[in-house]
Amino acid sequence: MSAQTTQYTILVVDDEPSIVDVLRYNLEKANFSVLVARDGEQAIQLANARQPDLIVLDLMLPGIDGLEVCRSLRKEDNIPIIMLTARDEEIDRVVGLELGADDYVVKPFSTRELIARIKSVLRRAQASEIRNETILKKGSLSMNLDKHEAHWDGHLLELSALEFDLLETLIRNEGHVLTREQLISTVWGYDFFGDTRAVDTAVRRLRARLREANPLAADSVATVRGVGYRLDACG
pLDDT single digits (tens) 210-220? 999 998 899 99
- Determine the average pLDDT of the residues in 32-36: 96
In a domain, 3, yes or no: no
Domain C-terminal end among 111, 127, 143: 127
Closest CA to 116 of 191, 194, 25: 191
Q: Is the pLDDT of residue 122 over 50?
A: yes
Given pLDDT bands bounded at 50, 70 and 90, which one contains residue 6? low
Domain C-terminal end among 127, 161, 193: 127
- Determine the average pLDDT of the residues in 85-95: 67
Q: Say if residue 122 is in the same domain as residue 155.
A: no
Q: In 3-state terms, the chain is what percent helix, strand and coil (to 5)?
A: 45, 20, 35
pLDDT at 102: 86
Average confidence score pLDDT of the chain: 87
In a domain, 1, yes or no: no
- Determine the average pLDDT of the residues in 120-137: 72
pLDDT at 3: 47
Order of all β-strands in the sheet with 141-144 = 135-138, 141-144, 149-152, 155-156
Q: Say if residue 219 is in the same domain as residue 189.
A: yes
Give the domain range for residue 169. Answer: 135-231
CATH at 104: 3.40.50.2300
Given pLDDT bands bounded at 50, 70 and 90, which one contains residue 55? very high
Domain C-terminal end among 127, 143, 175: 127
pLDDT at 1: 38
pLDDT at 107: 84
Single-letter amino acid code for the residue at 77: D
- Determine the average pLDDT of the residues in 159-186: 91
Residues in the chain: 235
Domains held by the chain: number: 2
- For residue 47, what are the CA distances in angstroms to 3, 30, 119, 125, 226? 26, 21, 19, 17, 40
Q: Say if residue 64 is in the same domain as residue 163.
A: no
Q: Say if residue 69 is in the same domain as residue 13.
A: yes
CATH at 227: 1.10.10.10
Q: Is 152 helix (H, G, I), strand (E, B) or coil?
A: strand
Q: Is the pLDDT of residue 133 over 60?
A: no
